[in-house]
Amino acid sequence: MNTSLDALIAEFRNTGTLSGLPCAQFIDGAYQAGATSAALESFDPGSGRVFAQFAAGGEVEVDAAVHAAKRALPAWSETAPAARSRVLWAIAQQVRQHADRLALIECLDSGKRLGEAQGDVRGVIRAFEYYAGAVDKMQGDSFPLGKDYIGFTVEEPIGVAAQIIPWNYPVGTAARGIAPALAAGCTVVAKPAEQTPLSALLLAELASAAGLPAGVLNVVTGTGAAAGAALVAHPGIGHITFTGSVATGQRVMRAAADNVTRVLLELGGKSPLVVLADCDVEQALDGVLGAIYENAGQICSAGSRLIIERKLHGSFMARLLERVGKLGLGHGLDQPDVGPVNSLLHLNRIHEHVATAAARGNAVLAGGSIAQPANAPGGWFYRPTVIEARSAQDPVVQEEIFGPVLVVQQADDLEQAIALANGTDYALVAGIYTRDIAQAYRFARRVDAGQVYINEYFAGGIEVPFGGNRKSGFGREKGLEGIKSYCKLKSVVARV
C-alpha cells in the first residue's frame, strides 16, 4: 500500500527509520543476499544518526549482476521499440505512485531538503516519460551512393552499461543514465554511492513491478573500492557512465582502458556566474543564491563563482550578504533554506577549504564555519559562506569545494568577465545575467562550457544535453544525445 507522506514522516520521527527499506542486492529481477552477510550503514545527515543498513557487495555480486545483464541483453535489445517504450512509460507511472516514499528516502539518505528531493523525483518521472517517447524515434541516415547501391546507418545498443551514481543527486542521476540506456536497448548494472544506496534499489524494484524483464536492471551496493572498482574493470561491460570527482574519473578511465570500454564522464566544476551592471538585480540575486545554496552547494554544476561587473559590485554585494545572513539551516524534513551536507568527512573537507583560503588572505564576508542548529543536533551543517577572492589564481577560485561556498571575483567589463570565466581547468556550466542579449550571446559563444544559462541558472530540463569539457569530463547525458551515448553506429552498404 502507498502510505501517505505525513504517515511516513511520522513513522520516521517515531522510530528513526522506515519499514521495508531494501537491504540486499537487486540482481536478476529480485533482491538477493550477497556472498557474505557484510553490511554498511546509511546515515541521516540531518541528525548524524544511522537510519538504515544495506548489503556490502563486491566482486562476486558485481560478476553475478553483469552475467544477469548479459543474459537479459539479447531479448531486451531485440524487443520492439514500441514495447520498450511502454515499459519505460510504466516505470514512470510506478515512480509517480510511490513518489512520496521515494522522495522521503532520498531526503533522509542524502540530507537534502524534502522539497528538493520531491523535485528530483519529479525529474525521474519526466526522464522515463521523455525516453519512453524517444525509443521509437531513433532513426538512421541513408547515403546517396548512386543507383547501384543502397547505404544506411543503424543505431544499435552498446551492450551492458555500468552506471556509477554519485551521492549528491542519487535518484536523479540514476534515472538520467538508466532511462536512456534502457531506451537504447541496453541492460544496466548500477552501483550507487555507499552514502546513498537506497533510492537506486527502490528504482530497480519499481522498474521490475512495471514489467521490466529480470536482469535488465541490476543494482549492486557497496564501497567504491570493493564494488565500483570491480564493475568498471569487468570485461563484460560495454559502456561506463561515471559521475563524480576528477580523481576518481581518472581511475575509471584507466580501468576502462584495459578492456577498451567506452566511458562517459561527468566530473567536477567551478562554474562561473557572470552578473553585469545592466542586469535585473532582483532576478540576479535570486539566481546567485539558488545557484550556490541549493542542495547545500553539493552540485557539480553549482554557480560557485560569482563574477560581477565592478561598478555593480558594492550595491549588489550589500544586498546579497543581507540575504545570505537570513538563510536558515535545518533538517531536510523541516524545509529549511539550506540543509546539511552529506557526511561528516565532507563537512570537514569544506571547512578545511575555507579555513586555508582565509589564511591565505581571502576575505570571508559571510559564514565560514561549521554550524549546529538548535533544531537539528548532531547534523552536519556548514554556514552559507561568501568569500572575496584575492586573485584569480588562488586555490579558492581554482578548486572545487562542493559545498555552500560562493567565491566572488570582480571584472571591469564583459571581456574581462569572459577571461575570468575561462580561467580554471573546469568547463561544465556557465551563466550570465544581463538585459543586453547581444552581450549574452557573445558570452555564450566565447565561454568554454558544456551548457550556458542566460538570465536563469539551472534553466532547461531532461530535453537539454548536459556534460562538460576539459577536466569537467566528456560525453553528453540528457536529451536525444543521451540515448545516442548508449548506441553504436553501424553503416550498411549493399550493391543492388
Give the residue numbers annotated as catalytic, written as ranges.
266, 300
What is the C-alpha separation between 118 and 335, in angstroms, rounded? Answer: 11
What is the C-alpha separation between 394 and 409, in angstroms, rounded? Answer: 11
Distances (CA, A) of 494 to 135, 148, 155, 276: 27, 8, 18, 57
Instruction: Give φ, ψ of 401 to 5 degrees.
Output: -95, -35
Distances (CA, A) of 191 to 170, 177, 188: 10, 12, 10
CB 105 within 8 A of CB 154: no
Closest by CA position to 162, among listed 103, 218, 118: 218
> Positive or negative, the Cα torsion across 12, 15, 17, 21?
negative
CB 85 within 8 A of CB 136: yes
Half-sphere exposure of 483 (CA within 13 A, CB side): 26
Paired with 262 in beta bridges are 239
Q: Which three cell numbers stand for residue 439?
A: 552581450
Q: What share of the chain is helix, strand, coil (3-state, %, to 5)?
A: 45, 20, 35
Contacts of 448 (CB under 8 A, 6+ apart): 422, 427, 469, 470
Q: Which residues of 180-218 are buried (b: 16+ CB within 10 A; e: fewer)?
A: bbbbbbbbbbbbbbbbbbbbbbbbbbbbbebebbebbbb
CB 49 within 8 A of CB 16: yes
* 3-class secondary structure, 233: coil
Instruction: Give φ, ψ of 473 to 5 degrees.
Output: 110, -165
CA 130 and chain centroid, separation: 18
CB 390 within 8 A of CB 358: no
CB 200 within 8 A of CB 91: no
What is the C-alpha separation between 159 and 72, in angstroms, rounded? Answer: 10
The widest CA-to-CA distance across the chain, in whole angstroms, is: 79
